[in-house]
Structure 1
Amino acid sequence: MPEKELTLVDRCILVTLMVKAAPLPQTYFKNVAGISLKPEHRSRLKSLGLIEVTEKPRIVLTLTDKGWNRATEELGAEPPKRAGTAGGTLYVALDFLRRLIDHSGIRADDLFRMQINRDEVVAPPVASPASAAVDAVALIRQAYHELAAKPGDYVMLADLREALADLPRHEFDAALVTLNRERGVNLVPESNQKVLKPQERAAAVTIGNQDKHLVAISS
């Protein structure tokens, strides 16, 4: 397929998958990366053999080997026409990554898949449990307001967990317990347990010996 048929959104999807170096649920692109991933983008990239798509129990995108190669081409590439301010800035950052890779001699896929040993780097100050909980609370609040149609609407915890897939479960649960004590926050069980999907049951948080499946934040 000619290069001109890959849109800026297509390229951003590939770059996001490359940088995260892991399969990503479709909700991640909208709720975390701010990318409006539509079915046509997914279909085009799949038809080109650049991604694999798993649709059950949720839509998940994974880079193929060909997709990795195509994504690395964006490192140091010229931004596409009408990329805009954000797109232009993205390609400045990608060009820096390309120069860093060339200087270090590390392959792009090795760089993004790298697991850095704490003993080999100078670690930043470790946050206390209290500050970590505050950060998790802020992340959950932000994700909730992106998912809810309006403040006070109930959102499934499964959708929140999916939007914050990088947040460890124990931090997520501790933040929910903290939020549950705040005014304007309601954590409730699904009234009709029969309609719950397996992933929605698994996403529940137990508070007061009761599984909570939904949250509403009115402020």
Structure 2
Amino acid sequence: MPEKELTLVDRCILVTLMVKAAPLPQTYFTNVAGIGLKADHRRRLQSLGLIEVTEKPITLALTDRGWDRATEELGAEPPKGAGTAGGTLYVALDFLRRLIDHSGTRADDLFRMQINRDEVVAPPVTSSGAPAVDAVALIRQAYHELAAKPGDYVMLADLRGALTDLSRPEFDAALMTLNRERGVHLVPESNQKVLKPQERAAAVTIGNQDKHLVAISS
């Protein structure tokens, strides 16, 4: 199938990968973004050299060619049959194209940009006034020690094993905080049959769904 005949779902997959600027598991598309990503879409985009696919869990990432193709959707006309939601998406994409043109920023630089909060904040303290443990920082540090590279998925069971000094409530609360941050993805294992008992027990429940893996791209 020529690239110009990409379906709306194909295009939404590329745009989602571009905006998130990180490898994403297939479960993110189906469970979070609400995109009906099927094997045909995955194979088509892979055969066109637009994405790379890894297994366990199935994860998609844009190639350089994929970045270029996704960028073409900025300012493009919505494909036939896009519907109300699709039309609205392309209105937003057109705004992003005008923003990029006005600022002179490359699309990949814009989406990879990290917007940091004000770092001058008072450290958390316990009821006794002693400094509290920064569980978020500890999890970030442990993640980067376990992951081969930023954006790779790490089992929560492995993270919990590396941070045995954190209580479960502290660990889970920190995960909830991280889950709200850009570049952090908590996802379920796509193949539930391969989960070991300790991996099931280590899951954190968010939105009535057990999450078993985390990726931090920043």
TM-score computed with the length of structure 1 as normaliser: 0.58
Determine the C-alpha separation between the residues in 1 that align with 2:37 and 2:9. 7
Pair 1:204 & 2:201 matched = yes
- The verdict on how the C-alpha distance between 1:72 and 1:174 changes in structure 2, with shifts beyond 3 A counting, is closer
Q: 4+ runs of 1 displaced by more than 4 Å?
A: 172-175, 212-215
Q: Which amino acid aligns with 2:195?
A: K
Compared CA separation, residues 67 and 173, structure 1 to 2 (3 A): closer
Note if contact 2:3-2:48 (Cα within 8 Å) is conserved in structure 1.
no
- Quote the residue 2:173 is aligned against: 171
* Pairing of 1:66-85 with structure 2 (within 5 A): 66-85=65-84
Kindly report the root-mean-square deviation, in angstroms, between the aligned alpha carbons of the 2 structures: 3.1
Where 1:62 maps in the other structure, the secondary structure is: strand
The 2-side partners of 1:213 and 1:116 are apart by 26
* Residue type of the alignment partner of 1:32: V
| 2:172 alignment partner AA | H
Q: Is 1:18 matched up with 2:15?
A: no
Paired position in structure 2 for 1:89: 88
In the TM superposition, residue 172 of structure 1 has moved relative to its aligned partner by 6.9
Give me the whole-angstrom Cα distance separating, in 2, the residues matched to 1:77 and 1:204. Answer: 46
Paired letter, 1:96: F
Matches within 5 A, 1:41-52: 41-52=41-52
Q: In 2, are the aligned partners of 1:203 and 1:213 still within 8 Å (CA)?
A: no
The Cα shift of 1:51 comes to 0.3
Q: How far 1:4 moved relative to its partner?
A: 4.0
1:8 aligns with 2:8: yes
Letter aligned with residue 61 of structure 1:
L
CA distance in 2, matches of 1:213, 1:75: 36
CA–CA distance in structure 2, aligned partners of residues 105 and 214 of structure 1: 41
Per-residue Cα deviation, 1:103-129 (whole angstroms, up to 9, x for no partner): 111100000000123349xxxxxxxxx
Check 1:96–1:88 CA distance in 2 against 1; reply closer, same or farther (3 A cut).
same
Q: Distance in 1 between matches of 2:204 and 2:90?
A: 41
Please state how far the C-alpha of 1:2 moved relative to its aligned partner: 2.6
Contact 2:172 2:204 in 1 (8 A): no
**Offset of residue 58 of structure 1:** 1.0
Corresponding residue of 2:63: 64
CA shift, 1:196, in A, is 6.0
Give the partner amino acid of 1:101: I
Q: Residue 94 and residue 213 in structure 1: after superposition, are their counterparts in 2 closer, same or farther (change >3 A)?
A: closer
Matching residue of 1:192: none
Percent of matched pairs sharing the same residue: 74
Instruction: Note closer, same or farther for the CA distance 1:118–1:80 as it changes in structure 2 (3 Å cut).
Output: same
Q: What letter matches 2:33 in structure 1?
A: A
Q: How many residues align?
A: 144
Task: Provide Cα deviations, 1:41-63, integer angstroms capped at 9, x if missing partner.
Answer: 000000000000001x2100010
Separation in 2, partners of 1:46, 1:85: 28
Please state how far the C-alpha of 1:16 moved relative to its aligned partner.
0.2
* CA distance in 2 between partners of 1:90 and 1:4 (Å): 18
Compared CA separation, residues 213 and 3, structure 1 to 2 (3 A): closer
